A and B are shown apart, each in its own frame.
Chain A
């Protein structure tokens, strides 16, 4: 068979998984009004803590729980910073990325004595997380557009004052979906660890940012965001096969270049939540 074979499409689904988890989480977060570029670092933290806990407890399930837990913690910190302390969302996210990268180098040296990588640790079958992702994409699409909770979430991002008037707690809603975003990024990190069997500081490698791009291209909707993530996963799978044909330095660039081209060519930004990135200040009465 040539380069295009069935396993290419299967590999693409696998490589799309971390991107899709992030895209899904960011969809919830941005729909409620919070931009989080800390998803890159949050996924890295999920992989790091997932690997560490799995290594010490010898239980990959505990590792998975820890990955989700640390993701939620970082989502909570980001939400406190954006919602209550009114930091700039992008800047707070960038701070999280820097902090986690530093922690990853530091902790790997403390625990394993190597800078930036871990020893191998017990893993789950990564396909478990692939199918979890697919299920969550479908559930999220229904949740966002067919349930009252989804409607409330969207109102908070579009018109927080109207939501407040209708008795929806804007602050708590934003914090809640930011924590959910963190949990999903934790799953992205958990997938990366379970896919490789060890932690490496470069393992996220921009997939968090590509996840944000997938969400933009998917126009803030779960299923289209997943399809965009699949496209990126496909190119990633393809570039691995092209490494015999062109120098690996160039094939590795493909997903990054594609992200730029896709973002540049994408103009139908109809669904950007109106209150995205703006702090909501409740009137005190």
Chain B
């Protein structure tokens, strides 16, 4: 029942977001039916459309989990983009440097990615817990640092510039590749998606079935009550931020090992930001994040189809995404409408 109500709120929010999006589409002179037709066709229309959606959803699933685990402790990790970039770079580094047997190599690369992200999450977590520094400012600042750092590493003056004209590293060894789920083609989802769903289930188990997860949720709901109950608030905050960083780093690693097979400057078109939307639409629930990531992935895949068909610029999908979150984060808006309806009903018939 609670689940149904939550789903209803999310559904109405998404509809409101797309509705305002349609108004903006029309106001800028584009055809609303054409845009929505291409959006749906590009995201779900055929097997390739859906494959595209799943490919785009994979990194977003990781960053959504990253955002929501920090959100559960009451902190805002809005720097998943930087953690993802660092994780991607270190996974690629392990992929072209270390010489390991096939499956072990992938595991080690994923570990490197998660560790790099975890380190980038630890800094703002520690600064918040011990020094009181606003984590939404520090995660954002660290995101810029990671952006310029990884960009330097693969720039012509940097140590890992592995290509004549493009800013990217050398290709990872084939033993480090995450294979694609289906036969061939660039735009197909990799085993990274399976890893992501698995990680989502583990995150759910961790949050709802382990003492550490319980502590994280307790601090998020009421720090004072948690402290009274003997929870070490600082430790829970730092742990949540380390895990948030690790999850985003793992997402970058999965994207590099499964899709690009090398670190490319600017490989993320903003998957870190999509995670904020994904985590919120999922109402901070790890299993919900799987579906929220699919929705965000569908908007990206559909947006590209809208662009290819020449109906409107793909960035329109980004506008839709912004509107959807704006409505998702205002549950009172829907309750407000409901209250009006209830009041009308109350006036219509006698009180019981």
Q: Measured between C-beta atoms, what is the minimum distance from A252 to chain B in Å?
A: 6
Inside 8 A of A252's CB, which chain B residues have their CB? 148
Given the known inter-chain contacts A206-B144, A209-B141, please indicate yes or no for A106 contacting B316, CB distance below 8 A: yes
Contact with B along A239-281 (1 / 0, CB 8 A): 0000000010110110011011001111101000000000000
Complexed CA–CA distance, A250 and B152 (Å): 8
- Measured CB to CB, the nearest residue on chain A to B148 is A249
Contact with B along A33-74 (1 / 0, CB 8 A): 000010000000000000000000000000000000000000
Q: Which of B318-352 contact A (CB under 8 A)?
A: 318-319, 321-323, 325-326, 329-333, 336
Contact with A along B136-156 (1 / 0, CB 8 A): 111011101100110110010
- Measured CB to CB, the nearest residue on chain A to B141 is A256
Is there contact, CB below 8 Å, between B332 and A263?
no
Complexed CA–CA distance, A101 and B273 (Å): 11
- Measured CB to CB, the nearest residue on chain B to A37 is B136
- Measured CB to CB, the nearest residue on chain A to B328 is A95
Inside 8 A of A151's CB, which chain B residues have their CB? none
Complexed CA–CA distance, A110 and B155 (Å): 32
Cβ-closest 3 pairs across A and B:
A99-B322, A102-B318, A249-B152
Is there contact, CB below 8 Å, between A85 and B141?
no
Q: Which of B101-109, B126-134, B207-215, B246-254 contacts A (4 or more CB under 8 A)?
A: B126-134
- Measured CB to CB, the nearest residue on chain A to B140 is A209
Complexed CA–CA distance, A213 and B140 (Å): 11
Q: Which of A90, A247, A250, A260 contacts B76 (CB 8 A)?
A: A90
Given the known inter-chain contacts A92-B329, A260-B142, please indicate yes or no for A109 contacting B134, CB distance below 8 A: no
Q: Which of A206-223 contact B (CB under 8 A)?
A: 206, 209-210, 212-213, 216
Inside 8 A of A99's CB, which chain B residues have their CB? 319, 322-323, 325-326
Q: Measured between C-beta atoms, what is the minimum distance from B306 to chain A in Å?
A: 11
Is there contact, CB below 8 Å, between A256 and B78?
no
Q: Measured between C-beta atoms, what is the minimum distance from A278 to chain B in Å?
A: 13
| Interface-centre pick from A88, A252, A264 (highest chain B CB count, 10 A) | A264
Is there contact, CB below 8 Å, between A95 and B138?
no
Given the known inter-chain contacts A105-B315, A264-B131, please indicate yes or no for A98 contacting B322, CB distance below 8 A: yes
Is there contact, CB below 8 Å, between B277 and A249?
no
Supply 14 further A-B pairs (C-beta < 8 A) apart from A98-B321, A247-B155.
A85-B333, A91-B329, A95-B322, A95-B326, A99-B319, A99-B325, A103-B319, A213-B134, A247-B157, A250-B148, A256-B142, A260-B141, A263-B137, A264-B133
Complexed CA–CA distance, A250 and B157 (Å): 12
Binding site for A on B (CB under 8 A): 28-29, 76, 78, 123, 127, 131-134, 136-138, 140-142, 144-145, 148-149, 151-152, 155, 157-158, 273, 276-277, 280, 313, 315-316, 318-319, 321-323, 325-326, 329-333, 336
9 residue pairs of the A-B complex, CB under 8 angstroms, read A85-B333, A100-B322, A102-B322, A106-B28, A109-B313, A205-B144, A206-B144, A213-B134, A216-B137
Is there contact, CB below 8 Å, between A256 and B330?
no
Is A115 among interface residues, defined by CB-CB distance under 8 A?
Answer: yes
Number of interface residues of A (CB under 8 A): 48
Is there contact, CB below 8 Å, between A87 and B329?
yes
Inside 8 A of A249's CB, which chain B residues have their CB? 148-149, 151-152, 155, 158
Is A96 among interface residues, defined by CB-CB distance under 8 A?
Answer: yes
Q: Which of A74-115 contact B (CB under 8 A)?
A: 77, 81, 84-88, 90-92, 94-96, 98-103, 105-107, 109-110, 115
Q: Measured between C-beta atoms, what is the minimum distance from B59 to chain A in Å?
A: 16
Is there contact, CB below 8 Å, between A260 and B152?
no
Binding site for B on A (CB under 8 A): 37, 77, 81, 84-88, 90-92, 94-96, 98-103, 105-107, 109-110, 115, 205-206, 209-210, 212-213, 216, 247, 249-250, 252-253, 256-257, 259-260, 263-267, 269
Given the known inter-chain contacts A95-B322, A106-B316, please indicate yes or no for A81 contacting B131, CB distance below 8 A: no
Inside 8 A of B332's CB, which chain A residues have their CB? 84-87
Q: Which of A100, A216, A256 contacts B134 (CB 8 A)?
A: A216
Q: Which of B137, B141, B276, B323 contacts A94 (CB 8 A)?
A: B276
Q: Measured between C-beta atoms, what is the minimum distance from A121 to chain B in Å?
A: 19
Is there contact, CB below 8 Å, between A103 and B28?
no
Complexed CA–CA distance, A98 and B270 (Å): 10
Inside 8 A of A263's CB, which chain B residues have their CB? 127, 131, 133-134, 137-138
Inside 8 A of B78's CB, which chain A residues have their CB? 37, 94
Is there contact, CB below 8 Å, between B141 and A257?
yes
Complexed CA–CA distance, A128 and B147 (Å): 34
Inside 8 A of B316's CB, which chain A residues have their CB? 106
Complexed CA–CA distance, A278 and B40 (Å): 39
Complexed CA–CA distance, A212 and B140 (Å): 12
- Measured CB to CB, the nearest residue on chain B to A211 is B137
Complexed CA–CA distance, A253 and B140 (Å): 12
| Interface-centre pick from B29, B140, B142, B321 (highest chain A CB count, 10 A) | B140
Complexed CA–CA distance, A84 and B76 (Å): 22
Complexed CA–CA distance, A115 and B314 (Å): 10
Complexed CA–CA distance, A282 and B28 (Å): 40
Is there contact, CB below 8 Å, between A269 and B144?
no
Complexed CA–CA distance, A100 and B318 (Å): 9
Complexed CA–CA distance, A85 and B28 (Å): 29
Is there contact, CB below 8 Å, between B76 and A94?
yes
